Amino acid sequence: MVVRGAPAIAIVAALSLAVELETLRGKLSEYTACSIQERIEKALDYLNGSRPTAVNLSDAVTKLKAAVAKEAAREGSTAQSVVDVYQARAEEMLDADVADNRNIGDFGAEWLLQTVAAKEKISVLTHCNTG
């Protein structure tokens, strides 16, 4: 798979681990909240190392680790609850990224229509966040 753009790299990494964790559903009784936290953090470190210059990826890793650590430390937490929190946060990141990209497109389109609509031809160059 080829993923371009730092925001997309972060989302794909977060969701790829969410999918891997889904494959463990039947085996989560083998884990404690702390041991699944360790597994998640190790996987996140590995993913982060795959593209250390992607700022969005390191930011996502930091946020996901914090969410997992908070849940693992909660009294009564289980491996399942830690996985559920991870997956929910990864999905929230996807939703936020899609919303950000739509807003960028909407604002840009509105600006183009108001500013350069009278011109016959325009060119748009995207830079960095091209989601």
Residue 14 lies in a domain: yes
Spatial separation of the C-alpha atoms in residues 38 and 102, rounded to whole Å: 35
Q: What is the pLDDT of residues 54-68, one digit of tens each?
A: 789 999 999 999 999
Q: What is the pLDDT of residues 88-127, one digit of tens each?
A: 999 999 999 999 889 988 998 898 888 887 777 777 777 7
Residue 127 lies in a domain: no
Domain that holds residue 13: 6-116
The one-character DSSP state at 117 is: T
Residue 48 lies in a domain: yes
Of 82, 47, 77, 55, nearest in space to 66 by CA:
82
Residue 22's pLDDT is 95
Residue 124 lies in a domain: no
User: Cα 104 vs. chain centroid, distance in angstroms?
Assistant: 18
Residue 95 lies in a domain: yes
pLDDT band at 69 (very low <50, low <70, confident <90, very high): very high
Q: pTM for this structure? A: 0.86
Query: Looking at the 3D structure of the chain, how many domains does it have?
Result: 1
Residue 122 lies in a domain: no
Domain with residue 72: its CATH number is 1.20.120.420
Mean pLDDT, the chain, rounded, equals: 90
